[in-house]
Amino acid sequence: MEDVVVHYQPGSAVGLSSLLETTQKLLEPFPCRTPPVFTPWFPTASGDCPLPLRPVKRAPVITCLADSSAAEGRPHDGVSDPPSPLLPVSPHSRHEKEKYKDGATGSPVRRSSWSVITQRGVLEPSSQSLSKQFHHTVSIHGLHLRQRAKWVIRELNCGTAGNIEEVWRTLSRSVRSSRLPTCNANIQRERAEIWVFCDVLHSEQVGRFLKDELKLSGRISLTVHRLGNIFSM
């Protein structure tokens, strides 16, 4: 209970005594209790009383690895410095940087895949509309023109380019130079394939560019997620 402050004009002691009496009577209906002393619900001292909450598992024990070999400056048996993480390499890096050494054997290992993403930009609209055959394919499958599809280039399509690596280097230069601004490419070395992603709207335009610029032979396939091959060129 808070203190009650009474303001009065200075006068006789009888008047003050009467004022205090009146104030006390007015406050009688209100209970006046002393608040109990706060006691925490858990023990404050670390005695024999167990804590109310206990972890399920014990805390891990960190053992010291220092021994005589460390004192002599020699590394521990079976303990070595962790290898440096493979940092992403810029697409502008040389092709040789796509190789790294296997930590176990020390032999060079080729990456299974590598992506090249173009800079932001907008592909110029094709001067030619969709062909009748491709428009029919889009209608049958109910594809959205802004839906992503991918052209698959295989080893057998390399033709005069030589091999899949030569085709990949040429394609990487084209993507980085923003000749295909809405496309991104990925090489799958385990499959010996190159995937070129683009919008359905520009699929025919991209396909013709790939065949002409990369001098591909045979037919390349256009695939859509969950549908598989829907078109070839």
Which residue type is seen at 4? V
What is the DSSP code string of 21-35? HHHHHHHTTS---PP
Sketch out the chain's domains with CATH numbers.
Answer: 131-232 (3.30.70)
Give me the residue label for tokens 């176990």: 104
Query: What is the structure's pLDDT at 28?
Result: 80
pTM of the full structure: 0.50
Indicate the range of 50-64, 120-134, 166-180 predicted with least confidence: 120-134
Query: In Å, how far are 86, 129, 194 from 208, measured between CA atoms?
Result: 36, 13, 16
Distance from chain centroid for Cα 178: 25
Per-residue pLDDT tens over the stretch 156-214? 999 776 789 999 999 988 888 878 877 899 999 999 999 999 999 999 999 999 999 99
Distance between alpha carbon 82 and the CA centroid of its chain, in Å? 24
